[in-house]
Structure 1
Amino acid sequence: MEQRLTIKLMDTHAGGDVSRIVLNGITPLPGASVRDQMHYLRDDADGLRNLLLFEPYGIPEMSVDLIVPATDPDAVAGYIIMEVMGYPIYSGSNTICTATAVLEAGIVPKQEGTQHFVLESPAGRVNIEAQVENGVVEAITCEGLPSYIDTHLATIHVPGLGNVTYSVAYSGGFYALVDATELGFQLTLDEERALAECAHKIVEAIQAERGFSHYTLGDVGPLPFLHFMGPVEQIADDFYRSRSTTYVHPGVICRSTTGTGTSARLALMHHEGKLKPGDRLETVSLRETGFIGKLTGVRQKGSHQVAENTITGKGYVLANSEIVINCDDPMVECSGLRHILQDDQPPR
């Protein structure tokens, strides 16, 4: 008799980036905070990420968000983010998708108009504003992490490319920011593969040359992200627009411009005197989707000017499903996974 192990999912996307929300099927994880639960998942149960991001169930371009109990008394739910590069402590697109999912799944009852609630990410509490019209979640605004510029206009020699000028921001992960035009890109969809190959070379070169340390978090690992910046167009006195593309190492060009990429861009534009608090920037992807970042304030933290910001986008539900996990299937790797699956289904 074979035990039937299942996981209930809601597949969503924001700006084209698919986030697979795990609603149930996973046992409670140990940890006094969502960050602690993330560390347990990363160190002792990475099989869930591998199962849902790779064949036969998924692809590396997706993300996975596991809903877990919040430890913050004000939060309605916690969530752990899983991507091909590992376990980022924050993501704007994943937060937009998770906020949409908790509303669509009834974890938070929908209210017409504007409603507010709190989620708990591995980075801490996140204030959410949802706009609901006729029962449809039309927009989610979430707090971006406080962002700052670590490095401004450095130069590195990249094999096959020559000297490349880049800046580095922290916005939930360390981002290299490069001028797309200087590298010969217009940021159109037909350039997607070339963008990935170019970004791979730059990130490899930066990782080989240096590391980065957050002013409170310390070492958060090698730089995993690169953001291609297109020219900036001013739409109104306080509103700007720019084509943009985010790369995740190794090998993934995001479908959306990403929330953390947009936050990094806000921090850089403020650092260069091109944005002031209250200004907004819409980043537009290769697929013509966009997020709107707003610079809400600036504060000094040691030697860094920290940009406080919000990200607004819309999440869409793609599917509600229940996947069946058969550990006898040679395509399915259950190591690092079986001990966190809820084994309460009747045999068949």
Structure 2
Amino acid sequence: MTSSFQSPFQEDVNISTIEMHTAGEPLRIITSGFPQLNGTTILDKRKYLKENFDHYRKLLMFEPRGHFDMYGVLLVTPDVDDADIGAIFMHNEGYSTMCGHAVIALGRYAIDRGLVKNPTSPETRVGIQCPCGLVEAFVEYQPGGSGCEEGRTGAVRFQSVPSFLFASGLKVDVPGYCMQSVDVSYGGAFYAFVTDSDVGVTLKSSPMQAVVKAAHAVSEAVKSTVSISHPDSDDLAFLYGTIITDGKDAFSDNVTANVCVFADKQVDRSPTGSGVTARIALQYFKGHIGLGQSRTFESGATGSVFTGKAVQEVTCGEFKAVVVEVGGKAFYTGCNTFTLEREDTLGHGFLVQ
């Protein structure tokens, strides 16, 4: 019996990666074996990848090489001034516009791999062009080591694209959870924000499945009722996910927890870099914090932490905005050379929930 399966790959594939994690959230950095992308801008290249090589994303993010909550990045040549590298982010559903945990890892990776000329001590700037714009990472740099030993003791902080509160106190009917008061904020990606008590869960004790179910319901309700726009590009104008918080937005309690559920019900193990950025913008424009007031954000999934603070008032189109600084640490977990034999039908990627 002849199989009807038609492989999107024309030959056997070998792809090399470096594996890292930031605050528990994985990052698969593709280092070789990926096809060349056409396009002048990073958004052009992202579109070309989505339309022509999405099977490579599935190969690397899905089982048997990845898993439902895998996250990856493809480095590309940047097309803006002051960028050292360009980054296209990928996950279980597609491609995101910004990823803070990846930026933190890439800052360290760029120094360790010699992608930044003449690094300086005690800190080196790394310009990373993301689909949402140029993000600046600042990497603690200790010269004298070799490879990943160079940055082993160094933390990374990054400063965001202009971030803003898109809408506050929206009344959204969430099936199964009644009417909710939802904030929508932008930190390189758009997120909906609700408190755990409003959707009947507790971040510290509820099963993660209950948190995911509630967050997904909010995301679907917001997507169906709220029209999102971004002053710079329609490619940025979509809801990436929902962040459920412990409700401690006031500065009186510096430590606050949240869980981000994004893409296709994917759970971020970290506090979420772009989510922290969006949440700082929300807190700033609701009057809960001032410029330079640092907060600690704890992941409700792993207990890992990022710091965040608003450092400068700016504008983004008609929106009052802030530049947000987020800090954290990333670590190496290994390296891989992944192989696909063209006749391997399951090896093209599948997901089990």
Q: TM-score, normalised by structure 2?
A: 0.86
> Residue 309 of structure 1: CA displacement?
0.9
How many equivalent pairs are there? 331
| Structure 2 counterpart SS, 1:224 | strand
| Structure 1 counterpart SS, 2:103 | helix
| Structure 2 counterpart SS, 1:181 | coil
**Partner Cα distance (1:325, 1:106) in 2:** 30
| Alignment partner, residue 26 of structure 2 | 18
Establish whether residue 197 from structure 1 lines up as the match of residue 213 from structure 2.
yes
Is contact 1:234-1:241 (8 Å) kept?
Answer: no
Q: Look up the equivalent residue of 1:310 and give its one-letter code.
A: E
Q: Percent identity?
A: 24
**Partner Cα distance (1:149, 1:121) in 2:** 20
Change (3 A) 1:48 1:221: farther
| Cα deviation digits, residues 187-233 of structure 1 (max 9, x gap) | 12653111001111111112222321112223645422111121438
| Alignment partner, residue 3 of structure 2 | none
| Alignment partner, residue 344 of structure 1 | none
Establish whether residue 34 from structure 1 lines up as the match of residue 42 from structure 2.
yes
| Alignment partner, residue 120 of structure 1 | 129
Q: Look up the equivalent residue of 1:91 and give its one-letter code.
A: C
Q: How does 1:83-162 map to 2 (within 5 A)?
A: 83-108=91-116, 112-133=121-142, 135=150, 136-162=152-178
**Partner Cα distance (2:66, 2:292) in 1:** 39
**Partner Cα distance (1:315, 1:194) in 2:** 29
| Alignment partner, residue 199 of structure 2 | 183
> Residue 18 of structure 1: CA displacement?
0.4
> Residue 104 of structure 1: CA displacement?
3.2
Establish whether residue 264 from structure 1 lines up as the match of residue 278 from structure 2.
yes
Cα root mean square deviation, aligned: 2.4
Change (3 A) 1:205 1:123: closer
> Residue 137 of structure 1: CA displacement?
4.9
| Cα deviation digits, residues 240-296 of structure 1 (max 9, x gap) | 221111111322221011111101111111111111111112110021101111201
Q: Look up the equivalent residue of 2:198 and give its one-letter code.
A: E
**Partner Cα distance (2:94, 2:11) in 1:** 29
> Residue 112 of structure 1: CA displacement?
4.8
| Structure 2 counterpart SS, 1:145 | coil
Is contact 1:118-1:126 (8 Å) kept?
Answer: yes
| Alignment partner, residue 4 of structure 2 | none
**Partner Cα distance (1:245, 1:257) in 2:** 7
- Which stretch shifts more, 142-151 or 126-135? 126-135
| Alignment partner, residue 67 of structure 1 | 75
Establish whether residue 252 from structure 1 lines up as the match of residue 266 from structure 2.
yes
| Alignment partner, residue 308 of structure 1 | 323
Q: How does 1:329-344 map to 2 (within 5 A)?
A: 329-333=344-348
**Partner Cα distance (1:74, 1:292) in 2:** 25
| Alignment partner, residue 273 of structure 1 | 287
- Which stretch shifts more, 310-319 or 123-132? 123-132
| Alignment partner, residue 296 of structure 2 | 282
Is contact 1:88-1:172 (8 Å) kept?
Answer: no
Q: Look up the equivalent residue of 2:139 and give its one-letter code.
A: A
Q: Look up the equivalent residue of 1:328 and give its one-letter code.
A: E
**Partner Cα distance (2:221, 2:164) in 1:** 22
Change (3 A) 1:150 1:74: closer
Q: Look up the equivalent residue of 1:115 and give its one-letter code.
A: T
**Partner Cα distance (2:238, 2:77) in 1:** 29
Structure 1 unaligned regions, length at least 5 = 335-348
